[in-house]
Structure 1
Amino acid sequence: MSTPTLLLATLSCLAPIAAQSQVVPGQSEDGSAASYTDSKTGESITPTIEVRDGKHYYTWPHWHEWKNFKMQMRGERTDHPDAQWWPQAGLGLFMHWGIVSEFEPTGEAWAGRWSQAKVDSGRFHPQSDIWAAAETFNPTKYDADKWMAAAEEAGFTYAVLTTKHHDGYALWDSDHALLGVRQHLDGKDLVQPFVDACRNHNIRVGFYYSGMDWYFERDYMNFSHSPKVLIDYHGKQVKSLPQRPPSFRQAYDEYNQAQVRELIDMFDPDIWWGDGGHGATAEQIREWRPGIVCNNRGEGGDHATAEGFHMAEPQYVKKPVVANGWWWEVNSIITRGSWHYDARPGQTEYIMPSDRLLMELAEARSMGGNLLANIGPRPDGQFPDEAYRLFDDMAQWMKTNRDSVFGINGGGPWPEKCNVPITCRDAVWYFHATKDQATAEDPIVLQDAAEPVSVKLMCTGEELDYTFADQTLTIAIPEGSKAGHVTDVVVVDFGPELDSSPYRFKHW
């Protein structure tokens, strides 16, 4: 069926929903995060600062508007009591999964978007080739309960699954999707097992949903990043593309809204993680599912979404995000390769060291944010083996160190006055150190400190020696007491005399 005919059919079969025209951001832009350093000169790029309504907005001149928006909030977040769990959630598991995972040349969803640089480096693949992977995508070893059982032990409190990515493939048995499990897997629902597993393991349910649907508008869409070059979905350069008919915008909006409403009605998610738009406004989504938490990548939302660990460094988060009173989260790949599974050697089968992941968690929590760590499941439905190595290490760490990242209410002066990130529960502070820190050669150092009442290694309760002179606290863990492959946590109790109010989170 051609797309013009499809539009009429779509309009006639959609459930009645009040149409609210949606702006689909990022449609023609590369969705990846950019560096804060000029690649040609190596110099740091300085953002401009704009003050609007008493809040500071940073804008990086080398980023397009959509990338800058990931670190900005517009409008007020939800005050619904059922949504206020989110700042204390701390740790989420992100899973990009779908037909891109099946496409062996790359796990990059944007591989079908043409640029000369991608062609020159062999990273461009026609979008039609990626869609063809739907013919063979068949996750016969999918065991969502195994995923979530391990995630619960590892300390994850919420999980977000890609119900539909930009390619338009729906993982649930949708009445409205044009491409998905109904068309290719006899309606085998891949979302319900995930939801059930989350509920069984006390994990909040999150849905990633792409407001962009490249399959829906494939006949009209330029698959090139450059407006000067027209590329169709077969990857061929053309002189022109068909014009979208007048009914297109309404059809697109109603199509998206119908899928959003369908997902909410079928599965009752706790989190809506839009990308390239929510598919509906946050106001509509909250009406359909009161108490849901929405990210900021659509019309309205509740929290900023730093993409990649570099975007979540203190100089970019403490001001303006935290200073503006915004909730925030860092979402990042913790493998090599891309967000989806990349079958090439050394890519998604590699999972970052446990120590590094736990330190990234500590850094986010010290600034009052959450970490949403992404692993791409294999196309057969299994997690990479290394994911379970990470989960096992995290589970052991959580048994003794969990309270250093959950149940906290503040963050210490890192990196301004300390060389390691600090989380706080009033006058009790938790110092997080890598395997190479908190040693005699590289001790923990806190300046302008109060004299401690006690200093202990959290995992064992062992009293640690320290020095306190000229308001500087210095702590080293004996070599034989270092954990070695996971993050060490030192607990310092400064006693009831410490005024902890300057360090309490004010954006929660």
Structure 2
Amino acid sequence: MSKEHLVLLSFLIGAGLPASAEKHTPSQSADGSAESYTNIATGENVTPRIEERDGKRFYHWPMWNKWKNGKLHVETERTKHPDAQWWPEAGLGLFLCWGLPSVFEPNGEGWSGRWSQAREDKGTFYPQTELWESVEGWNPTDYDPEKWMSAAARAGFKYSVLTMKHHGGFAIWDSDYALIGVRQTMDGRDLVEPWVQACRDNDIKVGLYYSGMDWYFERDYMNFSYDPSVLVNYKGEKVKSLPKRPPSFSKAYEEFNENQVKELIEKFDPDIWWGDGGHGASIHKIREWRPGIVVNNRGYDSGDHATAEGFGMSDPQYIRKPVLENGWWWEVNSIIQRGSWHYDKHLGETVYPTDEVLMRLAEARCMGGNLLANIGPRPDGKMQDQAYRLFDEMEEWMKTNKDSVFGINGGGPWPDDCNVPITCRDNIWFFHAKEKQATKENPIVFEGAGKPVAVTLMRTGDALPFEYSDGKLEMHLPEALKAGPVTDVIIVEFDNDFDYKPYLFTHW
């Protein structure tokens, strides 16, 4: 087998979910929750070990397999191509998980066909065949990607990533090579082309998510159990043995993936290749087919940027040390709706409050990273009403506050010396506060500040009172000036004696 295929098989065997994962939130619990960083039995923080290689430090969490640990690692030098250098300044991306799992009504979870005893006991295991059968007759009659992307553009999103196929193998573009997809079930209706056009029309960079794993392709040989001591076939049956992969399998799998990757790049000319479970082809070939592309790090030969999964993994203690000190680009990808990455009919109508999303954006930008916020549209092609609520409120916020997250060149010392995230443009600093922060009872406090020249509310331009003494700056907003459902931003201009240079980004 090829090295990349061995990596994928290792991932398949080791990518289990914690027993405490909630019924409708398995993926988020697996990587993004506090349980990933805390010993549940003792309540103590889990301390990763540190490995040093070639002058760089790599963190390894003992409860994760190699694949999960690799999400925060960049093993190769990033692209220097001029067409790719837009990426770290883009700041905000929209992740759209849409496809086979969206149609699976029990929970919208693409991993539902993977057996564990806990899932069987809870009744949340479904044979993989049921997921594949669920897509028969799928017809998204209300699909309007122009409505999606025009709203996203007004809300400030600069790039977007859409799932071409998840691990189950269902392709949402009209592929010459896919074994299951829109060609087999929708008479070849291509769901990707109109979305790409909508992105281009709204000046949004195009990113293609592609699963290097294809469970349909290897269904006859693959163990659909998390427990390697229990063999479960794709029909959900426990068996004593599975057929062995023939000698020709690895080569056929490699060619199958490469054909699809090349097909997608030639059809849609993407700006971003977002592999998951492998890129499907080597980065060398991907760059040969599309030289200026940005590639994430989830393949055997790594990529251009780290991909923290969930807000737990993007905590400053994990980003500032292993990521920033190594000079890596990075991005946090996380769900901003209830349920799983794809649409969950039981929970997926609820989208996070706008203040929460904007603060997560500010936190990522404070550390020089991007936020790739995930919303899984409904299977009929409509975006949730609450998604448009989010977009509308973000649009209003961006009218007066966008310069606090775009066009910046540094980030302040949050959370060590300040209780809110800070972004910077030289000596102009932007302090971001939630609804219950920057109040008289809970003021913004910055230890180690220079003397302010001016303090203003970014939304209105109103001058604000502040207290400054011996390097300690305190600020709050009068109740009448609080924004309510969106994040408040306070601009502080420091005098020329304040040394802002240590806070400028060095990894861009």
Q: TM-score with structure 1 length normalisation?
A: 0.95
Match of 2:19 in 1: none
Instruction: Deviation per CA, 1:378-429: give whole Å up to 9, x if none.
Output: 0000111100000000000000000000000000011110000000000000
Q: Distance in 1 between matches of 2:62 and 2:485?
A: 39
* 1:24 CA drift (Å): 4.2
Match of 2:31 in 1: 33
Match of 1:334 in 2: 336
Instruction: Deviation per CA, 1:127-159: give whole Å up to 9, x if none.
Output: 000000120321111000000000000000000
Instruction: Deviation per CA, 1:53-101: give whole Å up to 9, x if none.
Output: 1111110001111110001110111011100000001000001111211
SS at match of 2:112: helix
* 1:232 CA drift (Å): 0.4
The count of residues paired between Structure 1 and Structure 2 equals: 488
Instruction: Deviation per CA, 1:81-130: give whole Å up to 9, x if none.
Output: 10000000100000111121111001111111000111112221110000
* Equivalent pair of 1:361/1:370 in contact (CA under 8 Å): yes
**Amino acid across the alignment from 2:66:** E
Match of 2:70 in 1: 69
SS at match of 1:160: strand
Q: Distance in 2 between matches of 1:418 and 1:368?
A: 17
**Amino acid across the alignment from 1:33:** D
SS at match of 1:206: strand
Match of 2:283 in 1: 282
Match of 2:81 in 1: 80
Match of 2:411 in 1: 411
Match of 1:8 in 2: none
Match of 1:9 in 2: none
Q: Distance in 2 between matches of 1:23 and 1:120?
A: 31
Q: Distance in 1 between matches of 2:69 and 2:57?
A: 13
* 1:332 CA drift (Å): 0.2
SS at match of 2:452: coil
* Equivalent pair of 1:138/1:185 in contact (CA under 8 Å): yes
SS at match of 1:386: helix
* 1:285 CA drift (Å): 0.4
Are 2:93 and 1:92 aligned? yes
Match of 2:488 in 1: 488
* Equivalent pair of 1:281/1:300 in contact (CA under 8 Å): no
Match of 1:323 in 2: 325
Q: Distance in 1 between matches of 2:150 and 2:360?
A: 22
Match of 1:59 in 2: 60
Q: Distance in 2 between matches of 1:290 and 1:484?
A: 45
Match of 1:306 in 2: 308
Instruction: Deviation per CA, 1:324-378: give whole Å up to 9, x if none.
Output: 100000000001110000011xx11000111000000000000000000000010
Match of 2:478 in 1: 478
Q: Distance in 2 between matches of 1:257 and 1:88?
A: 30
Q: Distance in 1 between matches of 2:239 and 2:3?
A: 33
**Amino acid across the alignment from 2:31:** A
Are 2:426 and 1:426 aligned? yes
Instruction: Deviation per CA, 1:250-294: give whole Å up to 9, x if none.
Output: 000000000000000000000000000000011110111011000
* Equivalent pair of 2:273/2:294 in contact (CA under 8 Å): yes
Match of 2:215 in 1: 214
Q: Distance in 1 between matches of 2:89 and 2:249?
A: 42
* 1:498 CA drift (Å): 2.8
SS at match of 2:490: strand
Are 2:434 and 1:449 aligned? no
Closer, same or farther in 2 for the Cα pair 1:21/1:72, shift >3 Å? closer
* Equivalent pair of 2:451/2:498 in contact (CA under 8 Å): no
Q: For structure 1, list consecutive stretches of 5 or more residues without a partner in the other structure.
A: 1-18
**Amino acid across the alignment from 1:27:** L
* Equivalent pair of 1:20/1:253 in contact (CA under 8 Å): no
* Equivalent pair of 1:457/1:489 in contact (CA under 8 Å): yes
Q: Distance in 2 between matches of 1:76 and 1:321?
A: 13
* 1:300 CA drift (Å): 2.8
Match of 1:357 in 2: 357
* Equivalent pair of 1:447/1:471 in contact (CA under 8 Å): yes
Match of 1:500 in 2: 500
Instruction: Deviation per CA, 1:24-58: give whole Å up to 9, x if none.
Output: 43223247416101122221101111111111111
Closer, same or farther in 2 for the Cα pair 1:292/1:498, shift >3 Å? same
Q: Distance in 2 between matches of 1:160 and 1:497?
A: 43
Give the alignment of 1:43-192 within 5 angstroms: 43-192=44-193
SS at match of 2:270: coil
| RMSD of equivalent CA atoms | 1.1
Q: Distance in 1 between matches of 2:6 and 2:158?
A: 32
* Equivalent pair of 2:83/2:293 in contact (CA under 8 Å): yes
Q: Distance in 2 between matches of 1:121 and 1:287?
A: 47
**Amino acid across the alignment from 2:321:** K
* Equivalent pair of 2:163/2:209 in contact (CA under 8 Å): yes
Give the alignment of 1:380-399 within 5 angstroms: 380-399=380-399
Instruction: Deviation per CA, 1:449-497: give whole Å up to 9, x if none.
Output: 1100000000000000000012100001000000011100000001334
SS at match of 1:111: coil
Q: Distance in 2 between matches of 1:178 and 1:305?
A: 29
* 1:21 CA drift (Å): 6.1
Q: Distance in 2 between matches of 1:425 and 1:246?
A: 58
Q: Distance in 1 between matches of 2:283 and 2:107?
A: 33
Give the alignment of 1:193-208 within 5 angstroms: 193-208=194-209
**Amino acid across the alignment from 2:336:** I
* Equivalent pair of 1:22/1:279 in contact (CA under 8 Å): no
* Equivalent pair of 2:51/2:58 in contact (CA under 8 Å): yes
Q: Distance in 1 between matches of 2:129 and 2:337?
A: 27
Q: Distance in 2 between matches of 1:20 and 1:481?
A: 58
* 1:169 CA drift (Å): 0.4
Are 2:265 and 1:264 aligned? yes
SS at match of 1:245: coil
* 1:22 CA drift (Å): 4.6
Q: Distance in 1 between matches of 2:119 and 2:370?
A: 33
Closer, same or farther in 2 for the Cα pair 1:319/1:240, shift >3 Å? same
Q: Give runs of ≥4 in structure 1 deviating > 4 Å.
A: 19-24
**Amino acid across the alignment from 1:421:** P
SS at match of 1:453: strand
